[in-house]
Structure 1
Amino acid sequence: MTDYADLIQKIAIYALPVLFAITVHEAAHAYAAKRYGDNTAFMLGRMTLNPLKHIDPIGTVLLPMLSLALGGFLFGWAKPVPVNFSALRNPKRDMRYVALAGPLANLLMAIVWALMYKLALYTDGYFTDPLMLMASGGVAINVTLMVLNLIPIPPLDGGRILVSLLPPRQAYTVSRIEPYGMWILIALLFTGALSVIMRPFQALLYSFLNLFI
């Protein structure tokens, strides 16, 4: 019964930050794509803050709930925003800006949640502890999503940024990894290597966010 109550509490704390994190991340990709010439996501209604447009039943709901229940690494994904890179005004250059928009949105949200945590420290009431827990969860989720997405493996944002920066021949070689990228990521997750890779960058981000608390 206690474990069940703990799971319900975790879901209550993390549900809102997760929805905000994935929604703003994907909407930022859509906005950047439109800004640089591709209207695909806009025409499909994906340039929106409506979370229902971005939720993937497995990646956004099932996997994060299993992660919380098992007490492991919070893992999941949203429905990727469709981008027609050839429609961008300068495809190779603008690809990196579209890819970078999502992680930057997560950084902005992490700062907002850090400020919310600071606000909670100065409140004294019934909502103080829940707000602190939710703000702390919001920081953790957005830090994790930012660092995870910046890993230079296609189709992650970091992989697309890497492809945009490399010379054509090397960029083509890296882009061919994309069909296997998710399997590589899952393998890193289950071997524990993913946490080892991410931990130093997460620590660096937490140090930066401490400036806002």
Structure 2
Amino acid sequence: MSATGTSRGTGRRIVLWRHGQTSWNLERRFQGSTDIELTETGLAQARRAARLLVSLRPDAIVASDLKRAAATAAELAAVTNLSVEHDEALRETYAGHWQGLTHDEILAQYGEQYAAWKRGEPVRRGGGELETEVADRAAPVVLKHADRLGPNGTLVVVSHGGTIRTTIGRLLGLEAYDWESLGGLSNCCWSVLGEGARGWRLLEHNAGTLPEPVLGDDD
């Protein structure tokens, strides 16, 4: 998706950028708040994405303090000369006993819990956080930094797939049950929220290239 709100000078923007690849991503192993580093491929993804995102002329960068997000953010900081503010509230969902397990192991050991989560029920996966609790801690941090922007400023938030999805859902005013309708983010892809007349709008989702304006009636 794209919209003219992605053009500079049409209100504040929030770019929510997922970290690059890790070894646990490749193994389909649940990371959660476990502090896993980027692979060499993940670092290359971050460098490539940073060269694209610099064209959006970001004004501020805030990131999760976990290594995979911090290293991703550092690549954008290097090409923008901006400093990065790290905040643990932007960490990935803590998922207790699920963390470190592969997808197949989770299905085998916690199959009903996984199915309940997919049905949209409030589930403490592995005894960890509810998705609404993740949004409760992450969304206010994003809004705090967005409020510091100038009228047409751009904030880049470097975080994790689950945290980004719940934060987008909260900022769009969606019910928690509907957050699953937002597809996941690929490694080092991003989503863009723009300021509209009725609040934040989703302008780009799971993008890996620079946004293009919409030329039509629904801009």
Q: TM-score, normalised to structure 1's length?
A: 0.30
Q: Which has the higher helix share?
A: 1
Q: Which has the higher strand share?
A: 2
| Bigger RCO of structures 1 and 2 (CA < 8 A, at least 6 apart) | 2
